[in-house]
Structure 1
Amino acid sequence: MSRAYAVVAAAAGAGLVLFAASRPWAGVAPAERTGADLYPWLSAAALLALAGAGALLAVRGSGRILVGVLLAAAAVAIAGGAVHALATDVRTGWLLLVAVGGVGPFYGGVMAIRGRDWTTTGDRYERPGATTGPAAMWDALDRGEDPTDR
């Protein structure tokens, strides 16, 4: 269940950052500038987090740890954008949503790094204790067994 929470948190946080970065942060109409105009890496980091949320469903082992590290790095970049905006006197409510949205990918990344026991997409179709793979099937054929008759 923690995998589902991690995926949803990372995707929701990334979506929130993408939405907030697309809103006007500075200037007066018609010269308004969005958060993505002021800080282009916000959208890139949010898209990376969104892709990482999807990847958490398919990767396993060291790949999952790598995706978790990338999610956490994306969250740090998002937080860096929020901190930099505060330091340069950008005051907007959208900035708060960016900061809140950055928590989701960070949570998803930390959970992915800690989620060594998560199953992968195809694991539900495997029998418990079964040896799988082409080598195991060829070995069964060599012994005269039908590997599909189990």
Structure 2
Amino acid sequence: MTAPAPSGEPVAAATSSGEPAAGATPGTRRSHLTAVLACLAGAGLTLYAVTRTWSSTVEHRTGLSDLTTIRTGADEQPWLVGLAVVALAGAGALLATKGLARRILGGVLLLAGAGIAAGAVLARAALDAGEAGAAATLWPVACVAGGLAIAMGGLLAARHGHLWAAMSSRYERRPAPAAVRREGSDREPADNRAAWDALDRGDDPTD
């Protein structure tokens, strides 16, 4: 016989396999939502910031109009966009996966976020701000912040993802109980026989 847990202490629900049940406590649900929102916000911020002006140089030409060259973070490090798209897709996958797969996905998101932050620093260091003004600092910093948000969401998934509920599990169709299936299968032949008997007697079964 198992001794009852002391009163006042939370008891973690367990699955039949002995692992903690997904989404057993409000705390795990909050961390799940936090990770998804962090990855979504970080990916969106990265995609926006990396396509803004990071550098603006003006070449003055005698007798001709000035030639302005504008470069973005994506121009300098194109793979930043790819990592942001991976993070965006990964945020959605955090809702569909579960268990070990979700923890592995968390590790991928952690690496993607770290890569974005490092790539933003490298892109900014390689560009001459020129006449971009405050934008030359604002957008690289925003890109780094987006990468850190993604990394934080990935870290939460890597550490706690096996405790989170699979959002699609509640919508799975469950088979009808055996008693209901048996009752329906037994009743259908009887109804058919009654209809044929009515026809044999000359009765209209539709009345």
TM over 0.5: yes
Quick one: structure 1 residues 81 and 15, their matched pair in 2 at CA, closer, same or farther if it must change by over 3 Å? same
Q: Which residue of 1 aligns with 2:140?
A: 95
Residues 78-125 of structure 1: per-residue CA shift (max 9 Å, x gap): 011122134436542100001111111111111111222100023335
Instruction: Compute the RMSD of aligned alpha carbons.
Output: 2.5
Alignment of 1:27 with 2:50, yes or no, is no
Residues 13-50 of structure 1: per-residue CA shift (max 9 Å, x gap): 11001000010111337420111111111111111111
The code of the aligned residue for 1:76 comes to A
Larger Rg: 2
Aligned residues: 135
Q: Which residue of 1 aligns with 2:149?
A: 104
Describe how 1:1-150 pairs up with structure 2 within 5 A: 1-28=30-57, 30-88=68-126, 91-115=136-160, 116-125=162-171, 145-146=178-179
2:165 & 2:121 partners in 1: Cα distance? 36
1:4 & 1:61 partners in 2: Cα distance? 16
* Higher helix proportion (structure 1 or 2): 1
Mind listing any 5+ residue stretches in structure 2 that lack a counterpart? Answer: 1-29, 59-67, 129-135, 183-207
The code of the aligned residue for 1:52 comes to G
Q: What TM-score do the two structures reach when normalised by structure 2?
A: 0.58
2:32 & 2:93 partners in 1: Cα distance? 11
8 Å CA contact 1:6, 1:108 repeated in 2? yes
Secondary structure of 2:54 counterpart:
strand
Identify which of structures 1 and 2 has the higher relative contact order when contacts are C-alpha pairs closer than 8 Å and 6+ apart. Answer: 1
The share of aligned pairs that are identical, in percent, is: 42
Residues 65-87 of structure 1: per-residue CA shift (max 9 Å, x gap): 12101101111110111221344
